[in-house]
């Protein structure tokens, strides 16, 4: 067994949409690190709070395994992996601690422009391409609809044109990508933004106190932004 850590470890996206705003938010909480932008680990200087720079998809798992204590990740990723854990009989392990007000988007169902959309029943028997299979499967079950979920890791929006799927379920912000692919959003499954994620169970005393301090500063920083 590894000895208990007395430093807090936060996972953020290494590069991508959430990387810079996540770092800026933590900086506004008074955190600073020995610079190492190119590497994976940033050692905290002002407080014993270190950063791990990773793929966003790895963040929930790192919290579940206790490798990291906290993470900044899209709610869409956190819920998708949470649903996947439940389906596979695993305990929740992580949850949303705070909504952070950036990285806003929605997980939406989109169909070809030419469809005359009447409602979810129209999806019965259709193939829906997505990178969010657990979220989509859950939504379909709630709607009582039997459709085929086609898992694609990227370029989901071209699947209908390629004949791989009839509809898609993907993240949308401006809607320009959908429009460019002759698709239209018809239903929102989830409103998303970047969130601070933490373990479902409380942290041990030392790291719990550090996390409390960080949360107080974070709440202050979020209030000022509003």
| Host H or E run for residue 96 | strand 94-99
Cα separation, 29 vs 39, in Å, equals 22
Q: Which stretch binds Zn ion (CB under 5 A): 21-29, 56-64, 123-131, 161-169?
A: 56-64
Cα separation, 23 vs 14, in Å, equals 10
Question: Which CB, 103 or 198, lies closer to ligand PRT?
Answer: 103
Binding-site member from 93, 99, 145, 171 for ligand PRT (CB under 6 A) = 171
Cα separation, 151 vs 22, in Å, equals 29
Considering only residues 185 to 214 of the shown chain, the ones binding ligand PRT according to CB under 6 A are: 192
Task: Give one word for 66, left, alpha or beta, with left for phi > 0 and alpha for psi -120 to 50.
Answer: left
Write down the residue that tokens 């998809």 correspond to: 57
Write down the residue that tokens 């190119």 correspond to: 38
Q: Which stretch binds ligand PRT (CB under 6 A): 44-52, 53-61, 93-101, 202-210?
A: 53-61
User: Residues 55-76, buried b or exposed e (16+ Cβ, 10 A)?
Assistant: ebebbbbbbbeeebbbbbbbbb
- φ/ψ of 72, rounded to 5, equals -115, 120
* Interaction between residue 170 and Zn ion (CB under 5 A): no
* Interaction between residue 58 and Zn ion (CB under 5 A): no
* Interaction between residue 177 and ligand PRT (CB under 6 A): yes
* Interaction between residue 57 and Zn ion (CB under 5 A): yes
Is the CB of residue 96 less than 8 Å from the CB of residue 203?
no
Q: Which stretch binds ligand PRT (CB under 6 A): 9-17, 28-36, 121-129, 159-167?
A: 9-17
Q: Which stretch binds Zn ion (CB under 5 A): 55-63, 156-164, 190-198, 215-223?
A: 55-63
Binding-site member from 18, 42, 56, 106 for Zn ion (CB under 5 A) = 56
Distances (CA, A) of 139 to 56, 145, 151, 217, 222: 23, 9, 15, 36, 31
Residue 95, both tokens: 């949850």
Binding-site member from 6, 16, 20, 208 for ligand PRT (CB under 6 A) = 16
- From the CB of 114, what's the least distance to ligand PRT, in Å? 20
Considering only residues 61 to 80 of the shown chain, the ones binding ligand PRT according to CB under 6 A are: 74, 76-77
- From the CB of 161, what's the least distance to ligand PRT, in Å? 14
Point out which residues bind Zn ion (CB under 5 A). 56-57
Point out which residues bind ligand PRT (CB under 6 A). 13, 16-18, 55-57, 74, 76-77, 103, 105, 170-177, 192
């Amino acid at each position: 067994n590894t000895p208990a850590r007395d430093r807090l470890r936060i996972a953020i996206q290494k590069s991508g949409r959430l990387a810079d705003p996540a770092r800026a938010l933590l900086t506004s909480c008074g955190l600073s690190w020995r610079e190492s932008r190119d590497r994976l680990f940033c050692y905290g200087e002002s407080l014993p709070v270190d950063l791990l720079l990773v793929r966003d998809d790895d963040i929930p798992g790192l919290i579940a395994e206790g490798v990291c204590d906290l993470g900044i990740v899209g709610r869409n990723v956190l819920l998708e992996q949470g649903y996947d854990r439940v389906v596979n009989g695993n305990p929740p392990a992580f949850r949303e601690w705070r909504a952070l007000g950036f990285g806003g988007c929605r997980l939406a169902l989109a169909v070809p422009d030419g469809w005359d959309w009447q409602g979810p029943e129209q999806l019965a028997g259709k193939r829906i391409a997505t990178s969010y299979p657990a979220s989509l499967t859950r939504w379909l079950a709630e709607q009582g609809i039997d459709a085929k979920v086609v898992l694609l890791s990227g370029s989901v929006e071209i699947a209908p044109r390629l004949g791989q799927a009839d509809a898609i379920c993907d993240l949308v912000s401006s809607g320009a990508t959908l429009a460019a692919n002759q698709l239209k959003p018809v239903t929102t499954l989830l409103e998303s933004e970047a969130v601070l994620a933490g373990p479902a169970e409380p942290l041990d005393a030392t790291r719990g106190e550090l996390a409390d301090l960080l949360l107080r500063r974070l709440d202050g920083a979020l209030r000022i932004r509003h």
